[in-house]
Amino acid sequence: MLRSLIITATLAVCGAAHAQTAPSASDIAHYSGLHLAAHEGRVDEIDRLIAAGADLNARDNAGRTPAHVAAFASHDEAVAALAKGGADMNALENRVYDVLTIAAVANDPELVSLAMELGNKPDLITSVYDGTALIAAAHLGHHEVVARLVAGGAPLDHVNNLAWTALIEAVILGDGGPDHVKTIEILVEAGADKTIGDRDGVTPLQHATERGYADIVKLLD
């Protein structure tokens, strides 16, 4: 119980400081060119600006490229237009997020698949936790996103700098409900290593047992 409380408190503090941050109203008010067109999803304007030589990888004050801005606004066609024009789909903004992880956190399966099709690498190391899009999606129980990332070749057993895999995050940061159960089912069926423990050697099964997550215990046992 004490370990669970420590884990929860640690992530609450760290997450508040390092969570993804979409463009604010103030940011948007200062946008022009490709950043504005991306935010508004205006593909014709994106194409016009690209043809005129606009910088596809220009950064706003938070390090967001137009592709990041389009992803935060869920404008799939704008993301595609930028990528096809030559935008770097593996660029990281100041909080170390790429388009793919933005889409994963937003629970946007279609954009997740599109980002990978456009060259966004599913094994890219993202966030200040040195994680991946898969770990972020597993943490949140976004099982359809998890399924698409797995199908796209995302590394199942990447260990972040908290010493957590996607399986561990789905257990200790999940609620044990249907979405996290399905997430863990997908990871286990895909071959995620159930024996990898956290930095104290505590396995996903042990964490699930400690929390009384019976359905998850059945999947991990």
Set out the domains of the chain in order of their start, with CATH numbers.
Answer: 24-95 (1.25.40.20), 96-221 (1.25.40.20)
Residue 129 has pLDDT above 80, yes or no: yes
Distance CA 220, CA 188 (A): 8
Residue 15 has pLDDT above 70, yes or no: no
Distance CA 216, CA 221 (A): 8
| % the chain with pLDDT above 70 | 92
Length of the chain: 221
Q: Reduce the secondary structure of the chain to three states and give it as a string.
A: CHHHHHHHHHHHHHHHHHCCCCCCHHHHHCCCHHHHHHHHCCHHHHHHHHHCCCCCCCCCCCCCCHHHHHHHCCCHHHHHHHHHHCCCCCCCCCCCCCHHHHHHHCCCHHHHHHHHHCCCCCCCCECCCCECHHHHHHHHCCHHHHHHHHHCCCCCCCCCCCCCCHHHHHHHCCCCCHHHHHHHHHHHHHCCCCCCCCCCCCCHHHHHHHHCCHHHHHHHC
Q: 151-169 pLDDT, tens per residue?
A: 999 999 999 999 999 999 9
Q: 21-30 pLDDT, tens per residue?
A: 999 999 999 9
Average pLDDT over residues 127-132: 97
pLDDT value, residue 17: 37
Single-letter residue type at 93: E
Residue 123 has pLDDT above 60, yes or no: yes
Q: 187-205 pLDDT, tens per residue?
A: 999 999 999 999 999 999 9
**Angle, helices 109-117/143-151, rounded to nearest 10 degrees:** 20
The pair phi, psi for residue 204, each rounded to 5°, is -55, -40
